[in-house]
Amino acid sequence: MPGNDDGRPRHRTGPNVDMTTTPIVEQEPDITPLARHLLGRVPAGADIPSYGSWAWSVLPDQDPRRAASVIVAAECWRDHRSPQRVAVDLRLQLAEEDAAVWRRIRETSWDVSVAADWVALAASPTYAELRKRRAA
């Protein structure tokens, strides 16, 4: 990972990173040959209802759309559990947490800067002055 100008490593995320616009390269999930074969039995242009929906439940058992909706649900689940998808989801979750931490740090630093009595601190004796007082 390249460093900053001062040699420190650059963080992947930070207060100015918007993960909604950070590109995440994803490939279309490959479907298994069996799924491709079974989905090919559905007539072109036919509406495949969502698995478990009312429209799906009223389809006859022999209707290829009924099996197709089960295949689509299974392929979606397989894609959802793939290592690549888990990595992308984890990256997004960590980026959201990182952004939340940056916001809390920024808000806390504002609270500290507002709470401090900077005029009194500026008028207080320096460390050297305190040492002179103690030595006397």
User: Can you give the three-state secondary structure of the chain, one letter per residue?
Assistant: CCECCCCCECCCCCCCCCCCCCCCCCCCCCCCHHHHHHHCCCCCCCCCCCCCCHHHHCCCCCCHHHHHHHHHHHHHHHHHCCHHHHHHHHHHHHHHHHHHHHHHHHHHHHHHHHHCCHHHHHHCCCHHHHHHHHHC
**Which pLDDT score, from 0 to 100, does residue 4 have?**
47
Its pTM stands at 0.45
Instruction: Report pLDDT digits (tens) over 56-76.
Output: 899 998 888 888 888 888 888
